[in-house]
């Protein structure tokens, strides 16, 4: 009895201590700083570079020059035989990368648009960091498709351009839907990135000199912040927040149809659309966690803007997305498993016991088992490096998932005499090139554009107040619009 | 007849709203007042008329244009450039819905983006009346008044909390 009460009293003390630790000031919205100070912090974070920054930049530039540009040039010069794609796996890592990067790009739209629509306040400081992932991820996705084309100089044949040779794109083809959907998404998300950036570019213009002044002056377009300018801008941003969501869903659904429309074992599935969308969000959220961790640890003053509360909120989103992804994964798996089709059975056995089984089990472990086991804990969610590590594992798992869907499922087809395991060639270098280019773009952007939307943070702080209710203060939020 | 343009800078919304009310009382109409701020402030907070925007109309126009273009791609171009696909109708509706949706959204977004440029007269690199403190969170009220009223208005606004009241100057941003 005494031991029990002692145990409970200890637990009670720990519980009380935990709640006493909760200080409203640990939340960004309740720890406001004057706008001028926040501007100065963001500008300083952009201007400050160390030798480590230049070293990493140099390494990435070298990798981009060699793996991306030289590698691609070599492949164009020599022909696609230097890549590992051949019967039966005509679609190799290039398309794995395409699907992976489009997946990463979904995080920006989700965080920025959906959370804006639902007025989730925690989104404010890191919307731009996520939106940048969308744009840079889509650039890599586009590059990967062009690599896959082989004769990339004929890419214009994809576009409906009247010509004398009667060449016309086939609008019945999912690959054509892909082109239109990805083009719409690239343009839409880039415009959606740029619009809320204009006031911050104007802020940077007012605080810089030399070439930076010229750069920001051109990009800020003469923005002053008049009532009319704000009205046009916020109307457009609200429109984009609603419009980009169905486009985001359509893009990855259409990507999934590249596979699901074919009557192949493992591919032909009616849940592939939502399953792919959830997979994209899963990898995108994980990537945002990694990017926020890197930003917070490497950039000056970012610990003020990106706090534990943001990692906690992101962790909750990741947890929800994990459940939804797991549900669709199991739904897709169980229906195929139950169906009894000979070739699908063969494929599933091959996934579970074949030479690529390690990929399948890592996918299950990293995407379905580890995230819910870890993310239920607030302490883990609030630990930036841990959340980033989980995000990284999710992305490894998601990359394997795409690898299994594309070259591996192409290998196990209805013609066993063609079965031959895909062995990537130059694709590995080009993959290193795309990853390096993504990181390089991000590093350059972190020193050129304000990664924190300062005006949105200030707006959030202005709309929040602490209201006294009884013995405590509770946060209240009002809408300015 | 207004012949002077003044600029008053305020620390917060409340004194700026009071100042605008005072300007109204002194006979300065909304057409001769403009407010510049570092965050979007609702017109009601400052007692200002609702600013007009064409952006949403342009979005709708873009969406309609995109819809028509999508229909043309699906159901018009096959007759110009004949692409026969085995087992499918010549102009099937289900794939047509996908193309039409994407074109509608693309054109709507492009028109919205363009709308911001048109309505805001972007890009505009000419010298404009502006103060850098605005992006530090302050609120600037520009207004036109008669030259003879300048002293009276300046005193009234300073009494209401204006940090500075001075003639507005166009500057290269």
Bridge partner residues of A335 (DSSP): none
Evaluate whether residue A3 is within a structural domain: no
Nearest CA in chain B to A173: B95
Cβ contact B55–A236 (<8 Å): yes
Specify the 3-state DSSP secondary structure of A464: strand
| pLDDT exceeds 60 at position B2 | no
Q: How far apart are CA A233 and CA A244, in angstroms?
A: 16
pLDDT number for residue A395: 97
pLDDT number for residue A438: 97
Band of pLDDT at residue A177, cut at 50, 70 and 90: very high
Nearest CA in chain B to A200: B135
Which H or E run contains B60?
helix B55-75
| pLDDT exceeds 60 at position A21 | no
Residues A256-277 have pLDDT tens digits of 999 999 888 899 889 999 999 9
Chain B contact for A263 (CB, 8 A cutoff): no
Place of tokens 């062009």: A146
Q: How far apart are CA A270 and CA A321, in angstroms?
A: 20
Tokens describing residue B49: 């008329």
Evaluate whether residue A106 is within a structural domain: yes
Give mean pLDDT, residues A305-320. Answer: 94
Backbone angles phi, psi at A301, to 5 degrees: 70, 0
Q: Are the C-beta atoms of residues A94 and A144 closer than 8 Å to each other? A: yes
Chain B residues whose beta carbon lies within 8 Å of the beta carbon of residue A191: 109-110, 112-113
Q: How far apart are CA A457 and CA B110, in angstroms?
A: 27
Domains along chain B?
4-46+127-171 (3.30.70.120), 55-120 (no CATH)
Find which of A384-398, B121-135, B141-155 is predicted with most confidence, using mean pLDDT.
Answer: A384-398
Evaluate whether residue A371 is within a structural domain: yes
Evaluate whether residue A13 is within a structural domain: no
Q: How many structural domains is chain A composed of?
A: 1
Nearest CA in chain A to B83: A170
Band of pLDDT at residue B47, cut at 50, 70 and 90: very high
Band of pLDDT at residue B102, cut at 50, 70 and 90: very high
A190 to each of A112, A137, A280, A387, B117, how far by Cα in Å?
13, 11, 18, 27, 15
Residues A45-91 have pLDDT tens digits of 999 999 999 999 999 999 999 999 999 999 999 999 999 998 899 99
Give mean pLDDT, residues A113-119. Answer: 88
ipTM of the predicted assembly exceeds 0.90: yes
Specify the 3-state DSSP secondary structure of B33: strand
Nearest CA in chain A to B89: A172
CATH of the domain at A77: 1.20.1630.10
Helix (H) and strand (E) counts in chain B: 6, 6
Evaluate whether residue A85 is within a structural domain: yes
pLDDT number for residue A469: 84
Tokens describing residue A326: 């797991």
Which residue range forms the structural domain that includes residue A173?
A: 32-477
pTM (whole model) above 0.90: yes
Helices A308-339, A384-403: inter-axial angle, 10-degree rounding: 30
Q: How far apart are CA A80 and CA A87, in angstroms?
A: 13
Chain A contact for B94 (CB, 8 A cutoff): no
Chain B residues whose beta carbon lies within 8 Å of the beta carbon of residue A236: 55, 59, 112-113, 115-116
Chain A residues whose beta carbon lies within 8 Å of the beta carbon of residue B134: 224-225
| pLDDT exceeds 60 at position A1 | no
Residues in A 188-217 with any Cβ partner in B closer than 8 A: 188, 191-192, 194-195, 199, 202-203, 205-207, 217
Cβ contact B96–A171 (<8 Å): yes
- Beta-strand ranges (E) seen in A302-349 are none
């Amino acid at each position: 009895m005494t031991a029990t009460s002692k145990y409970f009293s200890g637990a009670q003390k720990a519980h009380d201590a935990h709640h006493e630790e909760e200080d409203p000031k640990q939340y960004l919205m309740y720890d406001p700083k004057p706008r001028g100070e926040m501007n100065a912090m963001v500008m300083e974070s952009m201007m400050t570079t160390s030798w480590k920054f230049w070293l990493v930049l140099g390494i990435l530039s070298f990798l981009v020059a060699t793996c991306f540009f030289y590698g691609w040039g070599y492949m164009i010069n020599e022909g696609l035989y230097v890549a590992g794609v051949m019967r039966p796996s005509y679609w190799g890592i290039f398309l794995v990368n395409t699907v992976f990067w489009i997946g990463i790009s979904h995080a920006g739209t989700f965080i920025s648009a959906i959370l804006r629509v639902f007025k989730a306040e925690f989104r404010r400081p890191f919307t731009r960091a996520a939106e940048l992932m969308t744009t840079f991820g889509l650039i890599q996705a586009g590059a990967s498709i062009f690599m896959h084309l082989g004769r990339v100089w004929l890419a214009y044949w994809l576009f409906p351009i009247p010509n004398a040779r009667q060449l016309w794109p086939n609008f019945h083809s999912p690959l054509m839907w892909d082109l239109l959907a990805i083009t719409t998404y690239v343009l839409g998300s880039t415009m959606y990135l740029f619009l809320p950036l204009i006031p911050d570019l104007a802020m940077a213009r007012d605080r810089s000199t030399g070439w930076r002044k010229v750069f920001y002056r051109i990009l800020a377009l003469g923005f002053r912040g008049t009532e009319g300018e704000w009205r046009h801008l916020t109307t457009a941003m609200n429109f984009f927040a609603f419009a980009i969501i169905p486009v985001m869903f359509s893009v990855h659904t259409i990507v999934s149809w590249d596979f699901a429309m074919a009557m192949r074992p493992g591919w032909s599935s009616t849940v592939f659309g939502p399953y792919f969308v959830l997979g994209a969000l899963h990898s995108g959220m994980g990537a945002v966690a990694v990017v926020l961790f890197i930003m917070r640890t490497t950039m000056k003053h970012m610990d003020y803007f990106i706090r534990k509360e943001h990692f906690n909120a992101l962790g909750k989103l990741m947890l929800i997305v994990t459940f939804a992804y797991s549900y669709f994964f199991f739904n897709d798996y169980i229906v195929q498993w139950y169906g009894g089709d000979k070739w699908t059975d063969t494929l599933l056995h091959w996934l579970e016991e074949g030479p690529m089984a390690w990929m399948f089990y890592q996918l299950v472990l990293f995407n379905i088992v580890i995230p819910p086991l870890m993310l239920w804990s607030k302490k883990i969610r609030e630990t930036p490096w841990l959340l980033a590590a989980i995000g990284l594992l999710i992305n490894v798992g998601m990359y394997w998932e795409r690898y299994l869907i594309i070259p591996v499922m192409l290998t196990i087809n209805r013609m066993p005499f063609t079965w031959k395991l895909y062995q990537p060639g130059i694709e590995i270098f080009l993959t290193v090139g795309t990853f390096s280019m993504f990181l390089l773009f991000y590093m350059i952007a972190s020193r050129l554009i304000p990664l924190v939307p300062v005006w949105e943070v200030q707006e959030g702080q202005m709309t929040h107040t602490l209201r006294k209710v009884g013995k405590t203060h509770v946060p209240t939020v009002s809408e300015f619009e | 007849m207004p012949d002077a343009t003044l600029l008053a800078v305020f620390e917060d919304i409340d004194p700026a709203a009071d100042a605008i009310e005072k300007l109204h009382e002194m006979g300065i109409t909304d057409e001769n007042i403009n407010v510049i701020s570092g965050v979007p402030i609702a017109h009601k907070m400052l007692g200002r008329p609702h600013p007009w925007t064409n952006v949403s109309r342009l979005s709708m126009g873009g969406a309609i244009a995109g819809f028509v273009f999508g229909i043309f791609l699906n159901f018009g171009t096959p007759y110009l450039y004949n692409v026969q696909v085995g087992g499918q109708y010549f102009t099937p509706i289900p794939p047509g819905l996908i193309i039409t949706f994407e074109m509608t959204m693309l054109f709507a977004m492009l028109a919205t983006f363009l709308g911001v440029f048109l309505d805001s007269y972007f890009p505009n690199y000419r010298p404009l009346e502006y103060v850098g403190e605005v992006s530090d969170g302050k609120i600037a009220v520009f207004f036109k008044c008669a030259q003879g009223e300048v002293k009276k208005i300046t005193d009234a606004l300073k009494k209401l909390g204006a940090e500075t009241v001075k003639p507005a100057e166009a500057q290269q941003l």
